[in-house]
Amino acid sequence: MTGAPVDGPTPDAAAPAAESAVGAAGAAPAVEAGDATGSPTATPVLAAEGVVKAYRGGDGSRLLVLDGVDLRVARGEMVAVVGASGAGKSTFLHVLGALDRPDAGEVRLGGVSTRTASDEALAALRNRTVGFVFQFHHLLKEFSALENVMMPLRIAEVPVAEARERAAALLARVGLAARAHHRPAELSGGEQQRAAVARALAADPPLLLADEPSGNLDHQNAERLHALFAELTAELAVGVVVVTHNRSLAARAGRILHLEDGRLRPATPAEGGV
Ligand SMILES: Nc1ncnc2c1ncn2[C@@H]1O[C@H](COP(=O)(O)OP(=O)(O)OP(=O)(O)O)[C@@H](O)[C@H]1O
Ligand SMILES: [Mg+2]
C-alpha cells in the first residue's frame, strides 16, 4: 500500500468517528488476560512477525522502510521505540495499530491477523483493540473534554449515563476533573494531551500506541504525561508501544528498541537504551 501519510494520524485516524472509536468497550471478547507484570511469556496483545513495509516514491523507486520486524507486547508492558527521523517509527506504529497493512509478514492484535482482514473487519479490530495518542491531541474542538472522552464509549453503544460516569472517572484519573466541561481550546497543551490519553483509554483497549505524545509539551507537562503513561500501563494492564525522542519517557519503558535500516533491535545506551 502506498501513499498513506505517515507523519501524524492517517486520514482514517484523523476522522472523528474513526479516531474516537478507538477501543470499543465490551464489543468483543477481551484479549486473553496477559500477565500484568509484562512477562514475555504472557499472551501477547500484539504480535508482529517479519513485518515488511515499503513505499513507492514519486519517481517510482521503492523505499523499504520496514525490513522484517518482530515485536511482541504483553498487557501491562511498555515498550519504547526510538530511532532517527525518517527511520520508519510512525510507519511501524501505523502497521501495528492496523491503520495500515504490512506488505509481508504478520501483525496479530489479540490473535487476529491484520493482513488478510477486510477493511471493515480491520476497522472493527482496531476499534476494539487499540487506543492511539498522537503528538497533536485531535480532540474534537466543538465538544467538551468529557464529551470527547465519552465518544468512544458512545460509539461502543455504552448507555449515556454509564459513559458519562466512566469518562468522568478517567478524566479525574488524569487530573482533569475540574476541566471536564472545558473545550479543547480552553485547555492547556498538557491538559489536552492528558484528555487525549483519557479518550484513548476510555473503551478499555488492551493496547495503547503513542507517537511522540509529549513532543509538543514543556518539560513539566511532559514529565507529568510520562508518569501517567507508566502508571496507567500498570493500573489498566494495557500494552503500550510509544515512539519517542524523549529519553525520560523511553527510560520508563520495560524495553527500549531502536529502529534502524528497517530493523528493530535493543537500543544501546548512546541511543537511549540502558
Ligand atoms: N506515504 C509515503 N510515501 C512515500 N514515502 C513515505 C511515505 N510516508 C513516509 N515515507 C518515507 O518513509 C520513511 C519513514 O517515515 P516515517 O514517518 O515512518 O518516519 P519516522 O521514523 O516516524 O520519522 P520522524 O521521527 O521524523 O517522525 C521516511 O523516509 C519517509 O520519507
Ligand atoms: Mg514519525
pLDDT range class, residue 115, cuts 50, 70, 90? confident
Query: From CA 229, how far away is CA 196, in angstroms rounded?
Result: 12
Residues shown for the chain? 274
Share of the chain above pLDDT 90, in %: 74
Residue 159 has pLDDT above 70, yes or no: yes
Residue with cell 472522552: 149
Ligand 1, pocket-test mutation among 56, 90, 260, 261, most atoms within 8 A of CB: 90
Q: For residue 42, what pLDDT is reported?
A: 59
Strands 44-56 and 104-109: antiparallel
Cβ contact 267:106 at 8 Å: no
Burial of residue 64, with CB atoms counted within 10 A of its CB: 0-12 exposed, 13-18 middle, 19 or more buried: middle
Q: What is the DSSP string of 24-54?
A: -TTSSPPPPP--TT--TTSPEEEEEEEEEEE
- Mean pLDDT, the chain, as a whole number? 86
Q: Is 203:156 a contact under the CB 8 Å cutoff?
A: yes
Q: What is the pLDDT of residues 215-273, one digit of tens each?
A: 999 999 999 999 999 999 999 999 999 999 999 999 999 999 999 999 999 998 888 88
Look at the alpha carbons of 66, 251, 32, 147 in this order and tell me if their dihedral is positive or negative. negative
β-strand partners of 131: 208
- Which one of the ligands is nearest to 81 CA? 1
pLDDT value of residue 65: 97
Specify the fold of 37-267. Answer: Rossmann fold (3.40.50)
Q: Domain limits of the chain?
A: 37-267
pLDDT given for residue 274 in this prediction: 73
Average pLDDT of 93-102? 95
Q: Which residue ranges have their beta carbon within 6 Å of ligand 1?
A: 2-7, 55, 57, 63, 65, 83, 85-91
Question: Measuring from atom 24 of ligand 1, which residue has the nearest CA?
Answer: 85
DSSP 177: G
- Using the predicted structure, report yes or no on whether residue 189 has a pLDDT greater than 70: yes
**How far apart are the C-alpha atoms of 113 and 101, rounded to whole Å?**
10
Strand 239-243 with 78-82, pairing: parallel
Query: Which ligand 1 atom is nearest residue 58's CA?
Result: 4
